[in-house]
Amino acid sequence: MAALLRQHFTPERLQVADESSRHAGHAGAAPGGETHYRLLIVSHVFRGQSRVARSRSVHAVLSDEFAGGLHALEMTLRTPEEQAALGGKS
C-alpha cells in the first residue's frame, strides 16, 4: 500500500498505520488483519483539490486493495502548506 501511495502522490510525508487489531470483531475485520488503516499523506498533488477529490483519488489508487479485503481507511490528506500551517503536526 505504501509503495502505491508513494508512486502516485510523491508525498512529502506518508504515514500508514494498520489499525486492524483495534477493530477485531467489527464489520470487515479479518483474522489476519490488514483490513483497517489510518493514513496521513502530505502531497503537492492535493493542491487545488477538494477534500472529496483527494479522498476519491486515494480510493482509486487503492481499488485493488479494497477488492482484496481492505475494508476501511481513516485518511488525513493535506497539501504541504496545510501541514506547515499546523506546525508539521499529524
> Who has greater pLDDT, 28 or 80?
80
Share of the chain above pLDDT 90, in %: 58
Domains of the chain: 2-85 (3.30.300.90)
The cell for 66 is: 479494497
Rounding to the nearest 10 degrees, give the CA dihedral for residues 74, 80, 86, 90.
Answer: 40
Cα–Cα dist 21/19, whole Å: 6
Q: Give the residue-averaged pLDDT of 25-41.
A: 65
Report field, pTM of the whole predicted structure over 0.85? no
Q: Count the alpha carbons within 13 Å of 87 in the hemisphere toward its beta carbon.
A: 1
pLDDT-derived band at 52 (thresholds 50, 70, 90) equals very high
Amino acid at 61: V
